[in-house]
């Protein structure tokens, strides 16, 4: 990002302004069944060679801005390093593939971020790199076509909170039509949470599952991934999954037992072929493997666990 160190609104902050305590450790003593299930899967190496469908690799200046923003507005990010160091940490944690996401927090920077994402994937071939665009870019469609065409990026990431634009805005819909035409998934943070007043926009006003459904109706061929299980409307988004075959969700932070909203794990397991494990690493306030450990404890069948931590991502981004 050419050392760009301005303050940027990040991938995820707290609902309004989180009073983010240190995460409580997972309860090994009170959760005997879950801990035993996790240990059994670890012993059988099922927690190895996973795919993380939601990580963020940024230029150094953007990372520094994110650290400051989170220090002021949300939780304390534990892992602070360069993009290369972050990628190596993922590989050392048992990640075989990772979907690397950037998003344009202002017009005019998408091409720079897309070039950075491409170079990271060249340096670390196990990364699945997505591009981005700002809805306010005057040449947004050209940016998308370049990213998905000659640059070889595997999809487009948008963030309705940061970009202050609802998913059903005509400019966003035009971008998503390009993704559908190219057969490339779009990852769009269009759920209402996690959110913060510091974004300068009311996320409940611009984000809800009904807006998402209008887009799915308008573009039936779109493959859309909604992060965070659609927090704080997990139930409505799970219902949308049942009605629209192109809709997928990722777990990023929603399954870490960090937020107050709890999960109906039977509903997650029933839709495991449409839910991908993701973490939001390194923009998280807890250990990298916390969410993986929780999922290993809560999902009862190996088949569903396999789909969440590997299979769904493989369907979205085949090797």
CATH number for the domain spanning 62: value is 3.20.20.140
Count of domains forming the chain: 1
Evaluate whether residue 8 is within a structural domain. Answer: no
User: How would you classify residue 261: left for phi > 0, otherwise alpha for psi between -120 and 50, otherwise beta?
Assistant: beta
The domain in which residue 144 lies consists of 32-316
Task: State the CB neighbour count (10 A cutoff) for residue 138.
Answer: 10
Pairwise CA distance, residues 177 & 145, whole Å: 11
Evaluate whether residue 51 is within a structural domain. Answer: yes
Q: Which helix (H) or strand (E) holds 90?
A: helix 83-92
Q: Are strands 131-132 and 50-55 parallel, antiparallel or unpaired?
A: unpaired
Evaluate whether residue 291 is within a structural domain. Answer: yes
Task: State the CB neighbour count (10 A cutoff) for residue 106.
Answer: 15
Evaluate whether residue 254 is within a structural domain. Answer: yes
CB 144 within 8 A of CB 156: yes
Q: Check residues 27 and 142 and name the one with the higher pLDDT.
A: 142
pLDDT tens for residues 254-298? Answer: 999 999 888 999 999 999 999 999 999 999 999 999 999 999 999
Evaluate whether residue 1 is within a structural domain. Answer: no
Global pTM reads 0.93
Query: What are the E-state strand segments in the chain?
Result: 50-55, 95-100, 127-129, 131-132, 156-159, 186-189, 224-226, 247-250, 275-276
The alpha helices in 149-289, defined as continuous H runs, are 160-163, 170-182, 203-206, 209-218, 234-243, 265-270
Evaluate whether residue 113 is within a structural domain. Answer: yes
Evaluate whether residue 167 is within a structural domain. Answer: yes
Percentage of the chain lying above the pLDDT 90 cut: 87
Evaluate whether residue 22 is within a structural domain. Answer: no
Task: Give the pLDDT band of residue 138 (cuts 50, 70, 90).
Answer: very high
Pairwise CA distance, residues 260 & 35, whole Å: 21
């Amino acid at each position: 990002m050419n050392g760009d160190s301005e303050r940027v609104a990040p991938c995820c902050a707290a609902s309004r302004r989180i009073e983010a305590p240190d995460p409580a450790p997972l309860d090994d003593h009170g959760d005997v069944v879950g801990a035993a299930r996790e240990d059994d899967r670890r012993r059988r190496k099922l927690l190895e060679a996973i795919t993380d469908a939601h990580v963020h690799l940024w230029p150094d200046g953007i990372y520094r801005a994110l650290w400051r923003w989170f220090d002021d507005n949300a939780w304390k990010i534990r892992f602070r390093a360069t993009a290369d160091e972050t990628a190596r940490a993922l590989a050392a944690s048992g990640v075989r593939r990772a979907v690397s996401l950037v998003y344009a927090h202002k017009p005019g920077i998408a091409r720079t971020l897309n070039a950075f994402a491409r170079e990271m994937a060249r340096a670390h071939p196990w990364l699945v790199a997505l591009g981005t665009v700002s809805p306010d870019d005057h040449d947004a469609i050209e940016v998308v076509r370049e990213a998905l065409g000659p640059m070889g990026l595997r999809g487009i990431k948008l963030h309705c909170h940061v970009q202050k634009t609802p998913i059903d805005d005509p400019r966003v819909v035009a971008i998503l039509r390009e993704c559908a035409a190219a057969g490339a998934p779009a990852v769009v943070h269009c759920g209402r949470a996690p959110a913060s007043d510091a974004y300068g926009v009311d996320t409940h006003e611009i984000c809800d599952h009904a807006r998402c459904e209008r887009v799915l109706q308008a573009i039936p061929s779109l493959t859309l991934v909604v992060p965070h299980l659609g927090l704080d409307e997990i139930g409505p988004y799970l219902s949308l999954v049942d009605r629209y075959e192109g809709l997928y969700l990722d777990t990023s932070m929603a399954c870490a037992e960090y937020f107050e909203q709890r999960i109906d794990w039977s509903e997650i397991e029933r839709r495991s072929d449409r839910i991908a494990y993701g973490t939001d690493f390194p923009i998280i306030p807890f250990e990298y493997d916390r969410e993986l450990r929780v999922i290993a404890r809560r999902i009862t069948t190996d088949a569903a666990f396999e789909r969440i931590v590997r299979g769904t991502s493989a369907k979205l981004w085949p090797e």
